[in-house]
């Protein structure tokens, strides 16, 4: 219990007015003089006093790769006007769900989490009563070609900025714009424009870096990739592309390759040396070739089951190798069309939510009605019954969004909401080596999404700032 400064009576941390004398009580974070026997969370070590954490902008702390919370160095007392208090929502932590918790933001980071609602301190802080809402880490899409008419391969600087804003409407706080195989000249323009957009500033979701569905894939399992842009990394026409990768390595997050293609097993460690994640996909690899790719340094699989041979009990191939390896992250398209719900459940069970990254693989047609037409890599695509198809009937990416995926996983697949969000936010962040994203934890970046009871997005925060409000 704490003590009323007016009459000395004890009161609970959640009370705003003293029951004994009627005096207004100080807000929980206005007084650091707490005894060690209270259960208010401040002195138990569970939650820091939000005014006594380090400077979130100093780079002094964070969430480490092993999941431990940043040790924030350097005392900083936040003024009430610097605090945003999100109170009363169902809060989805990675390890548990708080039925009615509070998350406090300051300086672009999460500075405190409480397992109960807090009253409005009315002290100049920004207070939001989220009772009846769901507060989750912002969603992260590591494989998205575009939406609302925007295509990564053709995007201008302004298009990338608009993509950032459109993504935020769907609870996406970070994404990897994804390119299809193309000539070096076009790739140069894509990387230049992406770099400029990231440098100039973005109105919504973070653009984490390009996901290249690269030239170094199998012609047999090219899917919707243009065949004229597919070649070996040892081919002479590959050198301009490799030069661009080297020059723009900081703008590239993931490169998809097929391990059986000559020269790829040597390319994989070359990419890893540049801090680029390597994903195996669009591949005819057998089991042994897939294992060789993982052993060379690949850590991801691009849209498991799609654009690769199916799993066979005597020929496990890339699918079997991916399911077997505990150190491999698997993308999986969750639009209800690309992979049967029963197979989705099987993969989730086999891999665990900590190794499955749900993706949209969305094209510029996301948001277009049935009958909508557009192009991908110069190929004509039509939206038919909720599916994007080439003229020959081949499925070509999806037209779904990450918030729709969360709703599908919960309503149709029957997964727990916390696990669905883990695969849509936390696991993608971990797979990219960005544990300061994708989680609600003290010290993490304040990228959050607020859902209503129907799992529709109401508010999106990036770096503690509202970037979308319904």
Average pLDDT over residues 407-417: 93
Distance, in Å, from the CA atom of 189 to the CA atom of 207, rounded to the nearest integer, reads: 16
361 catalytically annotated: yes
CA 264 to chain centre: 28
Q: Give the residues across from 257 on adjacent strands.
A: 280
Average pLDDT over residues 180-204: 97
CA 169 to chain centre: 14
Give the pairing of strands 150-151 and 146-147: antiparallel
Question: What one-character DSSP code corresponds to residue 386?
Answer: T
Averaged confidence pLDDT in the chain: 86
pLDDT at residue 4 is higher than 70: yes
With contact defined as beta carbons under 8 Å apart, do 433 and 427 qualify?
A: no
Catalytic residue among 151, 361, 403, 430: 361
Distance, in Å, from the CA atom of 402 to the CA atom of 358, rounded to the nearest integer, reads: 8
Q: What is the pLDDT of residues 271-323, one digit of tens each?
A: 999 999 999 999 999 999 999 999 999 999 999 999 999 999 999 999 999 99
The kind and range of the H/E element at 264 are helix 264-273
Distance, in Å, from the CA atom of 330 to the CA atom of 390, rounded to the nearest integer, reads: 25
Distance, in Å, from the CA atom of 230 to the CA atom of 182, rounded to the nearest integer, reads: 8
CA 289 to chain centre: 29
Q: Could you give the percent of the chain with pLDDT greater than 70?
A: 82
Neighbour count for residue 219 (Cβ, 10 Å): 13
With contact defined as beta carbons under 8 Å apart, do 447 and 461 qualify?
A: yes
Of 417, 392, 396, give the one whose Cα is nearest residue 337: 396
pLDDT at site 387: 73
Distance, in Å, from the CA atom of 441 to the CA atom of 447, rounded to the nearest integer, reads: 11
């Amino acid at each position: 219990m704490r003590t009323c400064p007016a009459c000395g009576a004890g009161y609970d941390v959640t009370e705003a007015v003293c029951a004994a004398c009627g005096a207004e009580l100080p807000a929980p974070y206005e007084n650091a003089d707490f005894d060690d026997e209270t259960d208010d969370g401040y002195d138990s070590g569970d939650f820091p006093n939000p005014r006594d954490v380090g400077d979130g902008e100093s780079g002094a702390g964070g969430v480490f790769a092993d999941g431990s919370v940043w040790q924030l160095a350097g005392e900083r007392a936040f003024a009430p006007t610097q605090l945003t208090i999100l109170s009363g929502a169902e809060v989805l932590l990675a390890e548990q769900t708080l039925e009615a918790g509070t998350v406090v933001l300051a300086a672009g980071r999460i500075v405190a989490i409480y397992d109960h609602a807090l009253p409005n301190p009315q002290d100049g802080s920004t207070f939001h009563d989220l009772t009846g809402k769901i507060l989750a880490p912002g969603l992260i899409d590591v494989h998205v070609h575009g939406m609302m008419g925007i295509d990564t391969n053709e995007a201008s600087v302004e298009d990338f900025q608009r993509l950032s804003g459109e993504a935020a409407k769907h609870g996406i706080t970070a994404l990897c714009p994804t390119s299809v195989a193309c000539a070096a000249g076009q790739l140069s323009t894509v990387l230049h424009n992406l770099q400029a957009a990231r440098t100039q500033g973005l109105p919504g979701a973070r653009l984490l870096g390009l996901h290249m569905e690269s030239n170094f894939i199998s012609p047999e399992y090219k899917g919707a990739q243009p065949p004229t842009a597919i070649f070996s990394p040892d081919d002479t026409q590959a050198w301009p592309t490799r030069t661009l990768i080297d020059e723009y390595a900081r703008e590239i997050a993931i490169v998809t390759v097929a391990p059986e293609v000559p020269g790829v097993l040597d390319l994989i460690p070359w990419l890893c040396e540049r801090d680029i994640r390597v994903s195996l996909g669009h591949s005819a690899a057998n089991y042994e070739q897939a294992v060789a790719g993982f052993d060379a340094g690949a850590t991801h699989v691009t849209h498991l089951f799609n654009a690769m041979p199916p799993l066979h009990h005597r020929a496990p191939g890339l699918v079997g190798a991916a399911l077997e390896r505990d150190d491999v992250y698997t993308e999986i398209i969750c639009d209800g069309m690309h992979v049967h719900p029963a197979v989705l459940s099987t993969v989730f069970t086999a891999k665990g939510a900590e190794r499955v990254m749900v993706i949209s693989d969305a094209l510029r047609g996301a948001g277009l009605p049935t009958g909508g037409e557009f192009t991908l890599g110069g190929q004509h695509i039509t939206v038919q019954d909720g599916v994007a198809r080439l003229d020959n009937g081949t499925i070509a990416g999806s037209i779904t969004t990450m918030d729709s995926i969360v709703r599908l996983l919960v309503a149709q697949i029957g997964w727990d909401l916390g696990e669905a969000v883990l695969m849509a936010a936390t696991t993608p962040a971990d797979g990219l080596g960005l544990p300061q994203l994708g989680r609600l934890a003290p010290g993490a970046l304040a990228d959050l999404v607020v859902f209503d009871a129907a799992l529709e997005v109401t508010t999106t925060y990036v770096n503690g700032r509202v970037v979308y409000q319904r």
